[in-house]
Amino acid sequence: ARPRFVAGAVGPTNRTASLSPDVNDPGFRAVDFDVLRAAYEEQIGALLEGGADLLLVETVFDTLNAKAALFAAREVFDRLGRAVPVMVSGTITDASGRTLSGQTAEAFAVSIGAVDVGPEGLFSLGLNCALGADMLRPHLRALAGATEALVSCHPNAGLPNEFGEYDESPEHMARVLRAFAEEGLLNVVGGCCGTTPEHIRVLAGAVRGLAPRVAPELPRRLRLSGLEAFEVTENTNFVNVGERTNVTGSPKFSKAVLAGDLEAGVSIARQQVDGGAQIVDVNVDEGMLDGVATMTRFLNLVGSEPDVARVPVMIDSSRWEVLEAGLKRLQGKGVVNSLSLKDGEAEFVRRARQVRRYGAAVVVMAFDEQGQADTYERRVEVCARAYRLLTGEAGFPAHDVIFDPNVLTVATGLPEHDRYAVDFIEATRWIKANLPGALVSGGISNISFSFRGNNPVREAMHSVFLYHAVRAGLDMGIVNAGQLAVYDDLDARLREHVEDVILARRADATERLLEIAGEFRAGPRETAGPA
């Protein structure tokens, strides 16, 4: 007799953590991550106690619900000291090819694939329910091309008729799924609503003897997701991380958030995306704010705004509890900004492992127990140590690690600051050459703080710095995407003087730039950084 295995079914619940049930309050949620996680822990513990051989987190209409289930599964595995394979199956709700909470099949695959579900790893990823088999083909194809896990499909027997019954015959369903298998899309097949033992019998016969799908070997690249997937490839050039939803650098955003007008903050986020930001950085670290509550509410509002939610989010905070609150609000695969070694190796590794359980990439600051790295040598030393801990002890994929070797202000008048920019550039070059797979980012506007109030000079400094840093391997930067000057369009004399400062080419570079800076001063704008 062939072996039989019991899959413990873990359903989606009747509530969604990513959408508001109240049209008048898009920031409201009927359930949150922690409530879901607690319920799932109880359920999963009972399923394993009852002898389930594996877990099937299925009919996922909201990826955040599924992430809570996977987090709970990992907690149960740790408590019991044993793990079982985990299957995840999403549901596409209509012909648009998206889940109820708005994700594409590819974005769903990226989100789930990033979650550390335990030593057994993700056994399979697939689609079930909602649509009949005929309508699933393009979405299954997209999902199969976006995961190295096995792929499953157990659709409904068509769509329900006016009596709520399902009319698709076993033979028709088997023909469609056989075609999927012949195309190389499937490893596991089955049936959902409306299917009967006869459906399963005919289906099993139809696929018997067919070769299972061979999983693709995906390139080792940074893949993120909002409602849509975003991949950093060799052709991406430079990733703009929108900086204006940051209370520490954007007066406009800070004023809105401090006044409690988070909807205005969402409008600023939308402007960034419209201006070319491929990721949105969100920072609400301000002494007058409840960081956890503000981050939670703001990300709830962002999640309800498809024009913004389509891109990944970078959760930016110096406080772990705020970072974790943000992670509990993202159904996509976002980025945590940032972790550092300032609290020691043990805490660094613990937090990194938690970030993996939430399914996010990470920005690592060049900061350790001795403080901020401000020389080339210190930057290289701290980043190398963090890389070893992340890819070794924490099990982080190297392509999900983004280093920020500290963009610090130049042209301050202090000689010890003169090499800050060139040392960042050289540290970037070293990281790309010596820490395989890792990416490099930085807060670009920091470089020009000494010229606050003089936008043309600041914009020229950003342009020149980016020109040289990108050539050295800089992958992304936190910028005002709509206010980047083009290097070749800069006034030649201004560019030369700025380049002397950025590359530390002359001992008197700062004085010479100051001498001509007034000639380029524009009208009264706030800053060349966040607005």
* Residue 291, domain member (yes or no): yes
Whether 476 and 362 share a structural domain: yes
H-helix or E-strand spanning residue 418: none
Note whether 165 and 240 are same-domain residues.
Answer: no
For the chain, the domain total comes to 2
Higher per-residue pLDDT: 521 or 211: 211
Residues 203 and 246 in one domain: no
In the chain, the percentage of residues whose pLDDT exceeds 70 is 98
Residues 296, 196 share a domain: no
Mean pLDDT over residues 13-27, rounded? 96
d(CA 95, CA 135): 7
Say whether both 300 and 197 belong to one domain: no
Instruction: Verify that 161 and 261 share a domain, yes or no.
Output: no
Residues 371 and 459 in one domain: yes
User: Where does the pLDDT of residue 526 fall: very low under 50, low under 70, confident under 90, or very high at 90 and above?
Assistant: very low
Q: Which distant-in-sequence residues (6+ apart) come within 8 Å of 110 by Cβ?
A: 146, 223, 224, 225, 229, 332, 333
| Across 252-263, average pLDDT | 96
Task: With beta carbons less than 8 A apart as the criterion, state whether 424 and 441 touch.
Answer: no
Strand order in the sheet with 122-132: 7-10, 54-60, 86-90, 122-132, 150-156, 188-189
pTM of the model: 0.94
| Residue 223 belongs to a domain | no
CA neighbor of 485 nearest in space, from 513, 505, 465: 465
pLDDT tens-digit map of 439-477 = 999 999 999 999 999 999 999 999 999 999 999 999 999
Q: Supply the DSSP symbol for 97.
A: -
Average pLDDT of the chain is 95
Q: What is the reported pLDDT for 521?
A: 81
Q: Is the dihedral of CA 445, 451, 455, 456 positive or negative?
A: negative
Question: What percent of the chain has a predicted confidence (pLDDT) above 90?
Answer: 90
Rounded mean pLDDT, 291-298: 98
Per-residue pLDDT at 41: 98
- Both 126 and 245 in one domain: the answer is no
pLDDT digits (tens, 9 = 90+) for 63-72: 999 999 999 9
